[in-house]
Amino acid sequence: MSLASFGVWRFRFGESVKGMLPIRVVPLRSVAIWPVALTGLVLGGFGYWWTNQSAAAASTLPLTALDYAIPFWPGSGWVYACNYLFIVVAFLRLDGGERKSRFIYAMLASQLFAVMVFVIWPVRFPREVFPIPLDAAPVHRALAGWWRLIDQPVNCLPSLHVSTSVLCVAAFPRCRGWGRHVLAWVAAVCISLSTLTFKQHYVVDVLAGLALGLAAYGVFFGFRNSAFPVPAGLGGVQPGGGKSPDSDTRAVASPLDD
């Protein structure tokens, strides 16, 4: 295959993939959103806890020069913990069952994929190389010690803190205001960096988490589509070409749209 032919094939493949994204989903009814969200939270938490018990069988990756160069700041654990608050705020801010449903599906899909990786290839972070600094503030030392007590140094790759932070940006689209959109990305970046300064992850874990988050984001929200496709009979276009009576005609812009 010539270079030109490969370029044409790659362009056509990319266009076909973009045409399929975001995927169609069945929006949850209003009464089902919270039960499904809470059920997903329980199942996701159990999956993480179950895989978090495999520290003995986990592999330790070689630390890179960048892993060594990044300092251990126990105080950044407060930013690390804010990831859970970020998820709640993002979910509450999403308007409409369509967007909330996509957020739940994206979170569950990324969590399921990560748990599969944790089972197939458990990775351990060598915390013993980075002891808690004696000169850290007592409250920061207490936080780091408590976190290391309840959370085994596994479930590293990919970083779920990073992937979920990326998905949370879906609640702050640019069309609703640049200020909040930028602040959402600042929060996502700070939480992602805290996984390194709190010595919970390798640098490669962050890159893998970013890839997972962007993949789930593209599949369930899309990057370039100005509106989400809705299945016929669920607020979208009916087979005859007309719109269903309860169709929401507002275009819901992707948070990364131009």
In degrees and rounded to multiples of 5, residue 123 shows phi and psi of -120, 140
Determine, yes or no, domain membership for 108: yes
**HSE of 147 in the Cβ direction (CA atoms, 13 Å)?**
22
Q: Which amino acid is at 257?
A: D
- Tally the domains of the chain: 1
**Residues with pLDDT less than 70, the chain:** 1-21, 26, 55-56, 175, 224-258
Distance CA 97, CA 79 (A): 29
Continuous segment of H or E residues that includes residue 226: none
Predicted model pTM:
0.76
Determine, yes or no, domain membership for 6: no
Q: For residue 194, what are the domain limits?
A: 65-125+166-232+245-258
Determine, yes or no, domain membership for 219: yes
Give the per-residue pLDDT at 170. Answer: 80
Determine, yes or no, domain membership for 14: no
Determine, yes or no, domain membership for 256: yes
Determine, yes or no, domain membership for 224: yes
Alpha helices by DSSP H, the chain: 3-20, 30-51, 65-69, 77-93, 97-120, 138-150, 160-168, 178-197, 203-220
Specify burial of residue 16 (Cβ count, 10 A radius: 0-12, 13-18, 19+): exposed
Determine, yes or no, domain membership for 46: no
- Among residues 119, 106, 104, the alpha carbon closest in space to that of 157 is found at 119
Residues in the chain: 258
Determine, yes or no, domain membership for 154: no
Continuous segment of H or E residues that includes residue 202: none
Summarised one tens digit per residue, pLDDT across range 151-180 is 999 999 999 999 999 999 888 877 677 888
